Amino acid sequence: MIRKMTNPEWKYYPKNMGNKLHSLCSYMAMFPPSIPHFFIQKYTAPRDTVLDPFSGRGTTPLEACLQGRIGIGNDKNPLAYVLTFAKTNVPQRGCILLRLAELEKNYEPSDISVKQVEWQIRMIFSNYTLKQLIYLREQLNWKTSNVDAFITAMVLGIMHGNSEGYLSLKMPNTFSMSPNYIQGFVQTHGLKRPKRDTFILLRKKLNRCYQKPKVKGKAYNQDARHLRWIKSDSIDLIVTSPPYTHVIKYGKFNWIRSWFLKEDARKIDSQLFHTQSLTRYLKFMTGVLAEMQRVLKPNGVSVLVLGDVRDKYSKIEVNLASHVWRSCAKPLDFESIEEIREDRIPENTKVSKIWGKLKKGRATKVDRILVLRRRPGLKKEVR
């Protein structure tokens, strides 16, 4: 029986652990850097290897690299992948500035027509800004070059928000509202698309968030159940927060950033895991934990942050951490080495308040942290 423990130690740490690179771009359901920071300190030494198989904006691998560990991030979502790639392979500041200067020099607005772009995107940016975005979207090779990935991540970070540091009309930063909602809101409130210079804002963003971690890491774009680029018995620590049961559609709620990446939002969602069925969720998590067991070194530790969810039909709160422990981790012969910790999250950090009427997701305010150790003995076969 696992006892539960409240008031986690990381609550007393500073926001972002004083590291400005964490703010490169916001991401839905991101966890605070203080959580991986605490467990990296507790369970690893410098040069150890730390993995997050659901890395999102890259919080765990970045925090690992900043602490002199080798941070590895993986996420099936291309948006998460580019953010993780940018943070684990940070180029020299001079290389970024040179590339920006080259891009700006070769930019020729008269060659570009905004008509080629769908109305949903055109209603958000002024023609002046949109031409720059269309150009950068064509030029930036974010899949192969770390300099271009860093610039792309900065564009994604300033793409939409509610101040003069952003390229769009006034709107939430963390996620995109639906096109029809934006259209209605723009008409009702008479919002105007601001004329913003992307190159100027990118240089300002670079000044705000640039930081070079001590150690380089790695980024992958695989399904978390098949991390084929990661060797067996190679990872010292995993710190991760897997998707919950059907709370977030990362593609749909990031359709503006997906456009910039030339990725189809619906296709992204079809490739990510989400379900409303607890049975299917536990089957998925069994596959994920089996893969974690494969890549972990004997005695390696895995920290899972799992939010409680409310069942869609019965409206009963489901303690996912306890289900994952009993139905997935225990049968795989993981050892639970800490009491489950409870982390209560203030309601107002869950959604942006800028546009008032937003609905809250079904995720509740309680996150639970499960700490598991891979036993040194033989691993069980999982089907």
Ligand X SMILES: C[S@@+](CC[C@H](N)C(=O)[O-])C[C@H]1O[C@@H](n2cnc3c(N)ncnc32)[C@H](O)[C@@H]1O
Nearest distance, CB of residue 329 and ligand X, angstroms: 18
Nearest distance, CB of residue 271 and ligand X, angstroms: 7
Of 73 and 300, nearer to ligand X (C-beta) is 73
* Contact yes or no for 86/25 (Cβ under 8 A): no
Of 77 and 302, nearer to ligand X (C-beta) is 77
* Contact yes or no for 79/221 (Cβ under 8 A): no
Of 174 and 327, nearer to ligand X (C-beta) is 174
Smallest CA-to-CA distance from 327 within 366, 301, 295, 290 is with: 290
Nearest distance, CB of residue 60 and ligand X, angstroms: 7
Nearest distance, CB of residue 243 and ligand X, angstroms: 4
Question: What is the amino acid identity at position 356?
Answer: G
Of 125 and 255, nearer to ligand X (C-beta) is 255
Of 126 and 352, nearer to ligand X (C-beta) is 352
Residue nearest to ligand X (CB): 56
Nearest distance, CB of residue 288 and ligand X, angstroms: 8
Judge residue 168's burial from the number of C-beta atoms within 10 Å of its C-beta, 0-12 exposed, 13-18 middle, 19 or more buried. Answer: buried
SS3 170: strand
Smallest CA-to-CA distance from 372 within 307, 276, 302, 291 is with: 302
**Residues found near ligand X in the complex (CB under 6 A):** 27, 29-31, 54, 56-57, 59, 75-77, 80, 223-224, 241, 243, 250, 272-273
Strands 296-310 and 317-318: antiparallel
CA distances from 329 to 74, 189, 296, 310, 321 (A): 21, 51, 14, 22, 10
Q: 249 CB contacts (<8 Å, ≥6 apart)?
A: 269, 274
Q: What is the DSSP string of 301-337?
A: EEEEEEEEEE-TTT--EE-HHHHHIIIIITTTTEEE-
* Contact yes or no for 159/168 (Cβ under 8 A): yes
Nearest distance, CB of residue 296 and ligand X, angstroms: 17
Q: 190 CB contacts (<8 Å, ≥6 apart)?
A: none
Nearest distance, CB of residue 272 and ligand X, angstroms: 4
Nearest distance, CB of residue 360 and ligand X, angstroms: 16
Of 189 and 226, nearer to ligand X (C-beta) is 226
What is the four-CA torsion angle of 38, 40, 46, 52, rounded to 10 degrees? -150
Of 243 and 300, nearer to ligand X (C-beta) is 243
Of 79 and 112, nearer to ligand X (C-beta) is 79
Of 272 and 318, nearer to ligand X (C-beta) is 272
Cα–Cα distance for residue pair 11/367, rounded to 1 Å: 13
Nearest distance, CB of residue 191 and ligand X, angstroms: 29
Token code pair at residue 10: 């990381």
